[in-house]
């Protein structure tokens, strides 16, 4: 081997060693880079659960209209903007499906039909206690002279004056006027917060049902199926 060949061989070895060092460094750098990249990748967003509300209360107008679907038919109502506490409470409970499957627990022909006690949804509840249940709060009275107990009026139930001198309303129970003559003496004493637009015949049909003594609950249970806003 000549001197020239020896130098070529030496140079090739040197270049190979250099390439090997560079390759090792690059490989180490890639591994480190991958680790850093993986650590910096944001965690996938946690998918939020779909809302359990039946509708968005904030989307409704000041005087919202609802369809109350019952096992006797549909009652279409309008809530009064002049009684905002009762209106907003009804909207809130309806959006939470509070009234779904609740029974009309007090039905008196020539007077009114009452509903809204959550105890009536509990198969283990004592029927003698129907009319005593609620969401755990009352609503300040909004008794206004311009609203009377006309047929189809929607009014809040409450305890009597002796136990409830401020006439605060039940948090969930309400009634429909079936006969305005029979309810006229209630004017100025109970909060009326809505009226029936359609479905007076449904109220009459509920009131005509045979009832049990002494609570006046229908012999054949009548329930609210759903309460949903009407978009017009």
- Evaluate if residue 40 carries a pLDDT over 70: no
Give residue for tokens 């627990």: 105
Q: How many other C-beta atoms can be found within 10 angstroms of the C-beta atom of residue 218?
A: 21
CB-based contact 56:50 (threshold 8 Å): no
Nearest CA among 200, 191, 190, 186 for reference residue 77: 200
pLDDT value at position 45? 44
Q: Contact at 8 Å (CB) between 129 and 123?
A: no
Cβ count within 10 A of residue 169: 27
Q: What is the DSSP letter of 223?
A: B
Place of tokens 């890639």: 30
pTM: 0.78
Which tens digits make up the pLDDT trace of 93-113?
A: 999 999 999 999 999 999 999
- What was the pLDDT predicted at 31? 44
At residue 15, the pLDDT reads 52
* Domain layout of the chain by residue ranges: 1-38, 57-229
pLDDT tens column, 120-145: 999 899 999 999 999 999 999 999 99
Cα–Cα distance for residue pair 213/73, rounded to 1 Å: 25
Query: Which range among 33-37, 128-132, 206-210 shows the weakest confidence by mean pLDDT?
Result: 33-37
DSSP letter at 141 equals -
**Any idea what DSSP says for residue 230?**
-
State the CB neighbour count (10 A cutoff) for residue 5. Answer: 9
User: What are 118's two structure tokens?
Assistant: 């959550």
Query: φ and ψ at 69, to 5 degrees?
Result: -85, 125
Domain spanning 57-229: CATH superfamily? Cyclophilin-like (2.40.100.10)
| Residue 43, pLDDT above cutoff 50 | no
| Measured distance between the N- and C-terminal CA atoms of the chain, rounded to whole angstroms | 101
Q: Does residue 226 or residue 50 have the better pLDDT? A: 226
């Amino acid at each position: 081997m000549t001197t020239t060949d020896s130098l070529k061989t030496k140079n090739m070895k040197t270049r190979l060693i250099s390439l090997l060092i560079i390759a090792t460094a690059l490989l180490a750098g890639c591994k480190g880079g991958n680790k850093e990249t993986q650590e910096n990748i944001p965690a996938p967003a946690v998918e939020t659960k779909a809302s359990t509300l039946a509708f968005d209360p904030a989307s409704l107008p000041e005087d919202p209209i609802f369809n109350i679907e019952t096992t006797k038919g549909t009652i279409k109502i309008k809530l009064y903007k002049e009684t905002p506490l009762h209106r907003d409470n009804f909207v809130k409970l309806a959006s939470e499906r509070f009234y779904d499957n609740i029974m009309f627990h007090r039905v008196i022909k020539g007077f009114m039909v009452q509903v809204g006690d959550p105890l009536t949804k509990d198969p283990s509840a004592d029927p003698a206690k129907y009319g005593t249940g609620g969401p755990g709060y009352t609503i300040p009275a909004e008794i206004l002279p311009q609203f009377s107990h006309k047929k189809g009026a929607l009014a809040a139930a409450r305890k009597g004056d002796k136990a409830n001198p401020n006439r605060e309303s039940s948090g969930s129970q309400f009634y429909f006027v079936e006969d305005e003559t029979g309810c006229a003496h209630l004017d100025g004493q109970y909060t009326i917060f809505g009226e029936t637009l359609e479905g007076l015949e449904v109220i009459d049909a509920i009131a005509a049902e045979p009832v049990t003594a002494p609570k006046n609950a229908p012999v054949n249970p009548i329930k609210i199926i759903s309460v949903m806003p009407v978009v017009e």
